[in-house]
Chains A and B, each alone.
Chain A
Amino acid sequence: MIAQPATTPGGFLLVLAVLLPAAGTLFSFALGSRAAEKIALGLTPVGFFLACLVAMKVAAAGAPIAYAIGGLPPPLGIALRADGVSAVMMVTASIIVAAAAFYARAKFATPDGVEESRGALTFWIMIQAIWAALNLIFVGGDLFNLYVALELLTFAAVPLVCIDGRPETLAAALRYLLFALFGSVSYLLGVALLYGLYGTLDISLLAQRVGAAPMVWTAAALMTAGLLAKTALFPLHLWLPPAHANAPAAASAVLSGLVVKGSFFLALRLWFYVLPALPTAAPGAVLGALGALAVIFGSVLALRQARLKLLVAYSTVAQIGYLFFVFPLAAGAHVWSPLGWSGGVMQILAHAFAKAAMFLAAGLVAEALGHDRIAGFRGAARALPLTFLTLGLGGLSLMGLPPTGGFEAKWLMLRAAAASGQWIWSLPILGGGLLAGGYVYRILAPALADGEAAIQARPERSREAIALGLAVIALALAFAPQGFFDFLEIGRPFASGSAP
């Protein structure tokens, strides 16, 4: 990043975007679960509005906006910075959090006559805390501050997994916590080494100072390994399927759609913003190869699941794999880098919306049928047309069929692979699409077959509409105009101003 003033106009919006849900957490804790629900729901439109304002400020300035906390510029103080991709992620997070919150009202309302309920207080507070942590991850400019944000994210996400208290959910939460802790410690050790080398943890200052020394490689490897454990990239994915499949649907949508993207976003920040000076061919190839393995293993395992939520969770393992193709495809100052970059970001967005929609829909299916065994879906599509439409549309995006955001992402990546001569990456991109077609077919085929599904409880229209709305957004991403991709280039190192 080019040197810029410590605080730019509109910078305070970044502080507010983090503080608003953080303050919501505190108030909710003091006032109890009934108030917590009102606070969380009330904050969603405000947070969405703030995120849009940030995006407008960035677009208007054509450059990142920044804020130096306490008026102290780095290295001694902490800076917050939002560039194009941060703003887009903030808007995405606010939409998905809002959708999950309104969807969850049916399950996590505080019953009448009860002063406060355990599940409700936990859910409403943790979802706000996740939101605060994500916003900080998207705008944080200091690697230690980002560590605190990562921990905030972990401590908010783990209790959501075991909110219903069954033994298998507790085991899933414990395993998630241990992986996450390993990730934190590894990341922190890398941070210590970087500080020991350069005496600062500010991202833009580090970018100016970092050179390709052996110690930098060690620090980068430690931090990356930690972030991969938190992102559940193969082979560190073992914790994800049980955790995401056992959480309540609204929580799964946030965990799968957003939380794993938080640590991935930091991996992007690390390699593209902190370490642009390092030659990226070798690490890019390693990360891409792990991504390819994740695509294949995740998809094959998804094909073999008998329960819908587990299938959707294994699909997340596969879709996370695609994200890592961004490392070989967008590194450096090549003509094709913007293609790879746009493709990677588009994959984050498309998967976030499609997967959140599918988890919400899967929750509705489970509530309506009383189970989520795929073998028992016969005739369910006729009974729940909107919900299975949502699953189908989300599935289209996962497969990468046009016109969906998933198609756009994979198309951009394929173009980058072709332009850079790295044909090898097109194999997992295309093969993963075929496999995704297989597991989406496995969901839809029995549901579309003739039969009489035993519906126990008909889901509310409004909740079906929320899930469908997210799936429609995943579709609409395919029609993103050129201006959107130009916006994603704002603040990217090496950005030349021209987008695909």
Chain B
Amino acid sequence: MSVLADLFSLAAVGAGVFFFIAGTAGLLRFPDSLTRLHALSKADNLGLGLVVLGLIPRAENPLAALKLVVVWALVLLSGASTAQLIGRVLRRGRE
């Protein structure tokens, strides 16, 4: 059981790291701000989400697991709204 859990953690965390790397690459390589924004918002939300998912089996108690989820939800929330706001700022700047 614990081996299975460990494997799950490894897979999820590994995938999370991959998304972080992908997001950063996008931030650096994409040609303009709007596409960079797209890369960022997909990547860091998924990256952190997968890391959290991987760490949940290792949480000491249900409350700690809940906190992990809340952390992710907060980042997701602020990421979603800020992406929209940054998008608007960028669009206005372009007009």
User: Quick check: do A and B touch in the complex, using CB within 8 A?
Assistant: no
| Chain B interfacial positions (CB closer than 8 Å to A) | none
